[in-house]
């Protein structure tokens, strides 16, 4: 089968690799849609500890089952949507309702969705893969994983309809936060960023766009989605007394951020930094995607073939587009 292989940062090649054979409990799908992701862009640019190099690339997916191991929960012909990991549901974190921190959640994961076929391990197939209804397309269904990350952040932050919320960073994740917040009835959502195309997409989702850092006023909740230390630090200045700062964007390992401790303490500001997702967040994200009024089509910048892979990631590096969808 044809597959994109990340050889090293900045070098992505289209290669011929063997089609996997599913073991008991595993399923093999024909990939129908595999969107690009901010995490994969980071891996392309500088590497990532959870993405081996050289190795198969991509982790967002939807598709059709073509083979299933003994005891697998799906059969050939089933259309499915899923995420790339699943908690063990037995360790201390899982039992403490912190499945996102499961001690083995990354030991078994889906990698290689930028390929014609994708093998889904038993634990993930059993816990975090679902039937795809006909009423939603494969591209929308393939957004389950990033939207689950957003759902985890929403679950932790608990926004209320009366709140004024600022989202910093109009990438795919920031735009999904806008869509989720508006879907939940939050009355005012402001989206701050520098990319006019992405700000326009946010406006179509219901946000009030503003060029960063020209943000005026204070907000009940600020959600940082850039993963840049200087923006983490600046974000504190936009939170009102008693408000919540959600530091969602992950900065490079070893980064240090500074905050005014007087502001943090005496203004009683809540700091959150949600990571990954648990099964509850996955199911919440799926319920949003199945809602006909929840439309994320503004995120899609076009469909691409696997042979376009290197150019797609160069385009994303230059800020051209939001999410491209490989259709192997």
Q: Are residues 215 and 162 in the same domain?
A: yes
**pLDDT tens per residue across span 306-327:** 999 999 999 999 999 999 999 9
| Cβ proximity of 224 and 237 under 8 Å | no
Number of domains in the chain: 2
Q: Are residues 118 and 163 in the same domain?
A: no
Residue 49 has pLDDT above 90, yes or no: no
CA distance 48 to 110: 15
Q: Are residues 160 and 129 in the same domain?
A: no
Q: How far is CA 231 from CA 2, 168, 210, 258, 268, in A?
A: 39, 8, 15, 11, 20
Q: Are residues 179 and 110 in the same domain?
A: no
CA distance 235 to 52: 33
Q: Are residues 159 and 122 in the same domain?
A: no
Confidence of residue 182 (pLDDT cuts 50, 70, 90): very high
Residue 90 has pLDDT above 90, yes or no: yes
CA distance 171 to 166: 14
Structure tokens at 221: 């909740």
**Structural domain boundaries, residue 23:** 2-143+296-326
Residue 284: inside a domain: no
Confidence of residue 7 (pLDDT cuts 50, 70, 90): very high
Q: At what angle do helices 279-290 and 144-157 cross, to 10 degrees?
A: 110
**pLDDT tens per residue across span 101-150:** 999 999 889 999 999 999 999 999 999 999 999 999 999 999 999 999 99
**pLDDT tens per residue across span 278-294:** 999 999 999 999 999 99
Q: Are residues 113 and 184 in the same domain?
A: no
Q: Are residues 163 and 223 in the same domain?
A: yes
**pLDDT tens per residue across span 216-260:** 999 999 999 999 999 999 999 999 999 999 999 999 889 999 999
Q: What is the DSSP letter of 198?
A: H
**pLDDT tens per residue across span 149-161:** 999 999 999 999 9
CA distance 17 to 236: 48
Q: Are residues 64 and 130 in the same domain?
A: yes
Residue 291: inside a domain: no
Residue pointed to by tokens 């690799």? 17
Residue pointed to by tokens 């009024």? 293
Last residue of a domain, one of 257, 272, 287: 272
Q: Are residues 138 and 175 in the same domain?
A: no
CA distance 177 to 196: 18
CA distance 8 to 274: 29
CATH no. for residue 74? 3.90.180.10
Q: What is the DSSP letter of 51?
A: B
**Residue 82: beta bridge partners?**
61, 129
Residue 289: inside a domain: no
**pLDDT tens per residue across span 163-172:** 999 999 999 9
Residue 278: inside a domain: no
Residue 285: inside a domain: no
Burial (CB count within 10 angstroms: exposed 0-12, middle 13-18, buried 19+), residue 35: buried
Residue 26: inside a domain: yes
Residue 279: inside a domain: no
Q: Are residues 98 and 179 in the same domain?
A: no
Q: Coil, helix or strand for 159?
A: coil
Residue 58: inside a domain: yes
Q: Are residues 19 and 118 in the same domain?
A: yes
CATH no. for residue 203? 3.40.50.720
Of 3, 13, 6, 87, which is closest to residue 39 (Cα–Cα)?
6
The stretch 66-93 carries a mean pLDDT of: 97
Q: How far is CA 61 from CA 30, 144, 152, 207, in A?
A: 10, 8, 19, 27
Q: Are residues 116 and 161 in the same domain?
A: no
CA distance 275 to 248: 7
């Amino acid at each position: 089968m044809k597959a994109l292989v990340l050889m090293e940062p900045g070098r992505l090649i289209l290669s011929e690799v063997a089609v996997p054979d599913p073991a008991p409990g595993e399923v093999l799908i024909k990939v129908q849609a595999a969107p690009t992701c901010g995490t994969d862009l980071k891996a392309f640019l500088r590497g990532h500890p959870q993405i081996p190099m050289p190795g198969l690339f991509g982790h967002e997916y939807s598709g059709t089952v073509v083979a299933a191991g003994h005891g697998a929960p799906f059969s050939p012909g089933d259309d499915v949507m899923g995420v790339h990991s699943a908690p063990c549901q037995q360790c201390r974190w899982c039992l403490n309702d912190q499945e996102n921190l499961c001690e083995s959640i990354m030991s078994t994961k889906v990698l290689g969705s930028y390929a014609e076929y994708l093998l889904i391990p038993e634990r993930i197939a059993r816990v975090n893969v679902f039937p795809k209804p006909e009423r939603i397309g494969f591209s929308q269904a393939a957004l389950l994983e990033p939207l689950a990350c957003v759902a985890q952040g929403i679950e932790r932050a608990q926004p209320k309809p009366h709140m004024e919320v600022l989202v910093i960073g109009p990438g795919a994740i920031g735009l999904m936060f806008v869509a989720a917040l508006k879907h939940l009835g939050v009355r005012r959502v402001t989206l701050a960023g520098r990319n006019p195309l992405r700000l326009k997409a946010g406006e179509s989702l219901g946000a009030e766009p503003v060029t960063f850092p020209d943000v005026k006023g204070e907000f009940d909740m600020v959600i940082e989605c850039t993963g840049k230390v200087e923006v983490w630090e600046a974000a504190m200045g936009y939170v009102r007394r008693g408000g919540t700062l959600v530091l969602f964007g992950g900065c490079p390992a070893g980064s240090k951020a500074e905050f005014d401790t007087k502001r943090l303490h005496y203004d009683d500001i809540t700091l959150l930094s949600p990571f990954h997702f648990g099964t509850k967040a996955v199911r919440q994200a799926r319920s949003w995607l199945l809602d006909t009024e929840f439309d994320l089509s503004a995120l899609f910048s076009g469909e691409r073939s696997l042979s376009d892979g290197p150019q797609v990631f160069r385009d994303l590096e230059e800020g051209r587009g939001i999410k491209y969808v490989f259709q192997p």
